[in-house]
Amino acid sequence: MKRAERINSWLLTIIMAPITLIMLVPFYYIIVNTFKTPQEAAQSPLALPTQLYLGNYIEVFQNTQIFQSFYNTLYVTVLGVGLMILIGTMAAYPIVFNMNKLNKVIMMYLIAGFLIPFQTTLIPLFELMVDFKMIDKLNGLVFLYLIGTIFCYFLTMGFMRTIPKDLIEAATIDGCSILGIFWRIILPLLQPIIITIAVFQTMWVWNDFLAPNLFLNSPSKNTLVLEVFKAQGQYTVDWPLFMTFSVIVLIPMLIFFLTMQKHIVKGLTSGAVKG
- What CATH number did the domain enclosing 165 receive? 1.10.3720.10
Distance CA 133, CA 231 (A): 28
- Residues 54-93 pLDDT 10s: 988 998 888 888 899 999 999 999 999 999 999 999 988 8
Whether 201 shows a pLDDT value over 50: the answer reads yes
pLDDT of residue 265: 66
**Same domain assignment for residues 27 and 150:** no
* C-alpha distances in Å from residue 12, one per residue of 16, 17, 98: 6, 8, 48
| pLDDT confidence band for 139 (50 / 70 / 90) | very high
Whether 234 shows a pLDDT value over 70: the answer reads no
CA atoms within 13 A on the CB side of 261: 6
Around Cβ 25, how many Cβ atoms within 10 Å? Answer: 10
**Same domain assignment for residues 71 and 197:** yes
**Same domain assignment for residues 95 and 226:** yes
145 in Cβ contact with 76 (< 8 Å): yes
Q: Tell me the torsion sign for CA atoms 166, 172, 173, 174.
A: positive
**Same domain assignment for residues 34 and 101:** no
**Same domain assignment for residues 174 and 219:** yes
Number of domains in the chain: 2
| pLDDT confidence band for 223 (50 / 70 / 90) | very high
- The mean pLDDT value for 249-270 works out to 77
Range of the domain at 86: 64-274
Q: What are phi and psi of 209, to 5 degrees?
A: -115, -35
Whether 3 shows a pLDDT value over 80: the answer reads no
**Same domain assignment for residues 159 and 268:** yes
Distance CA 150, CA 239 (A): 38
